């Protein structure tokens, strides 16, 4: 056996995954160099070797569900990962200039990919699947849930930090007659948003969140917190407080981690979300102290599993029209990204949180909406 093979085989067995087994969640290894590559490079080696075609799995999401539910990721930690985390502890990877990297690397790679994958809502965040039958319904239900949680009323002025493709502001303007401002650093997302929201009282600005001015009745952030970085959480939350009217509400929608780590894993950082970071309860709690009153904390992380599986199904179904701008290595990379994340949410390693925050507390108490 080459170095590392026995270790990997035994490790996989702890999650009831058999190397070269017959179950759909078993991995099929095509290159013996896979074993030392994973033992030496951990998550980065596992992901890159999949991209290189060194191994396959019929149900990659189920493989990751079993591996992560068994906490095998903790057993693959090594000195390289420790250095990765140490750098993120010492360096602010989410300064204004560095924050642009994720826009170029991920969000601006082409709306021809995102339009068929995301569906008519163009929401690139977790849907709310309660009492819904498909992705489009779940995303609309998520928008409606947010509107109700913050008590939108006609004429309110709403700030959407991160705004994505403009879906939430479009929904809120059409259904609740608000006016809005969306800020984003992705040129391609803003191009789509401006076209989709033409004629509505919504303004979109190519701008870092740190440069936003004005006062708003409601502030919304859906999926931006994952790009803020732990060194900037206090700055971000202070900005949200400054932009919020005294009697306003701030809704923060973010993926959350069960552990307080200073960076995402090396593979995700390199290929999907450079300089990203998932907040934890500890990070958020420390950062919001004396800035906000926490009115509500809602976790529906299990719904991200269904959302990611729907995105993957759309991606596969439309690959023939998408692939003109991408190669087979991208297909494997994107598949790995979507299905590994689905497995992580299924295993409850990752969460999806919506927090409702106020400056001084809602008099008489806030009434939670589900």
Residues classed as catalytic: 341
Among 9, 21, 29, 3, which Cα is nearest to 72's? 9
The rounded radius of gyration (Å) of the Cα atoms in the chain is 21
d(CA 337, CA 348): 17
Beta bridge pairs of residue 249? 218, 358
Label residues 105-117 b or e (16+ Cβ within 10 Å = b): ebbbeebebbbbb
β-sheet with 216-222: strand ranges across: 202-206, 179-184, 157-161, 216-222, 244-257, 350-358, 293-299
How many Cβ atoms from other residues are within 10 Å of residue 203's Cβ?
13
Question: Which two tokens mark 362?
Answer: 């809602």
> Are the CB atoms for 287 and 234 separated by under 8 Å?
yes
């Amino acid at each position: 056996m080459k170095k590392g093979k026995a270790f990997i085989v035994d490790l996989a067995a702890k999650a009831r995954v058999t190397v070269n087994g017959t179950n759909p969640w078993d991995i099929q290894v095509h290159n013996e160099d896979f074993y030392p590559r994973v033992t030496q490079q951990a998550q980065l080696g596992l992901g890159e070797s999949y991209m290189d075609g060194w191994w396959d799995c019929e149900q990659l999401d189920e493989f990751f569900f079993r591996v992560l539910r068994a906490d095998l990721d903790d057993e693959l930690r090594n000195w390289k990962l420790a250095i990765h985390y140490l750098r993120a502890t010492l360096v602010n990877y989410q300064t204004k200039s560095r924050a642009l990297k994720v826009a170029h690397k991920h969000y601006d790679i082409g709306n021809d990919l995102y339009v068929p994958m995301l569906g008519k809502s163009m929401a690139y965040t977790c849907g709310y699947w309660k009492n819904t039958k498909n992705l489009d319904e779940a995303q609309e239900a998520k928008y409606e849930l947010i509107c109700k949680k913050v008590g939108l009323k006609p004429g309110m002025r709403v700030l959407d930090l991160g705004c994505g493709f403009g879906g939430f502001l479009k929904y809120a303007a059409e259904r609740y007659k608000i006016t809005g401002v969306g800020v984003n650093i992705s040129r391609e997302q803003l191009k789509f948003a401006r076209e989709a929201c033409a004629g509505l009282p919504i303004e979109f600005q190519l701008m870092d969140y740190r440069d936003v001015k004005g006062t708003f009745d409601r502030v919304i952030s859906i999926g931006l917190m994952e790009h803020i970085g732990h060194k900037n959480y206090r700055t971000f939350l202070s900005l949200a407080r400054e932009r919020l009217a005294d009697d306003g509400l701030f809704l923060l929608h973010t993926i959350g981690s069960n552990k307080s780590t200073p960076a995402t894993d090396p593979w995700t950082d390199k290929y999907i979300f450079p300089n990203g970071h998932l907040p934890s309860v500890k990070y958020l709690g420390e950062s919001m102290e004396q800035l906000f009153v926490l009115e509500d904390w809602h976790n529906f992380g299990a719904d991200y599993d269904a959302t990611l599986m729907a995105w993957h199904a759309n991606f596969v179904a439309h690959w023939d029209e998408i692939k003109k701008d991408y190669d087979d290595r991208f297909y494997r990379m994107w598949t790995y990204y979507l299905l590994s994340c689905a497995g992580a949410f299924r295993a409850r390693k990752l969460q999806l949180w919506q927090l409702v925050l106020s400056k001084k507390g809602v008099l008489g108490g806030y009434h939670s909406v589900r």
